[in-house]
């Protein structure tokens, strides 16, 4: 058995991401919302710390606030759970965003790109 140490070799996301710890809410389809914290956010997905795992493919609604366009912006997106990994006293869940609206795309792009060197 081999273990990879190159995170880029196993990274499934296409775009850049921004490391951040923000409060977020995840509502799996047909279940009540559960609170969590972001680990990182990209234009096409995010990783979060939750209290419980989600099954791969689970459809969810995710809500969080970011600072973009000179103010706090609420982002509401549809997402799909990809993986759940137990870490210490929480579960790291990765999500892929689905059909992100134009306004949310603009906010996410500005948030992720802030401070990036070109």
For 66-91, what is the mean pLDDT?
Answer: 94
pLDDT value of position 28: 95
Determine the average pLDDT of the residues in 67-82: 94
The upper half-sphere exposure of residue 25, i.e. CA atoms within 13 Å in the direction of its Cβ, equals 12
Backbone φ, ψ for residue 64 (5° rounding): -160, 165
* Domains of the chain, earliest start first: 18-110 (2.40.10.220)
CA separation for the pair 102, 112 (Å, rounded): 15
* b/e map 75-91, b = 16+ CB within 10 Å: bebebbbbebeeeeebb
What is the percent of the chain where pLDDT is above 70? Answer: 85
- For 58-74, write each residue's pLDDT tens digit: 999 999 999 988 899 99
Per-residue pLDDT tens digits for 5-29: 344 444 565 678 899 999 999 999 9
């Amino acid at each position: 058995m081999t273990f990879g140490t190159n995170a880029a070799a196993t990274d499934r996301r296409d775009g850049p991401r921004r490391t951040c710890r923000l409060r977020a809410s995840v509502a799996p389809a047909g279940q009540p919302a559960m609170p969590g914290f972001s680990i990182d956010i990209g234009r096409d997905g995010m990783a979060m710390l939750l209290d419980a795992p989600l099954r791969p493919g689970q459809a969810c609604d995710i809500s969080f606030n970011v600072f973009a366009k000179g103010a706090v912006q609420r982002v509401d997106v549809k997402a799909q759970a990809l993986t759940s990994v137990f870490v210490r006293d929480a579960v790291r869940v990765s999500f892929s965003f689905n059909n992100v609206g134009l306004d949310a795309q603009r906010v996410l792009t500005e948030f992720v790109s802030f401070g990036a060197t070109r």
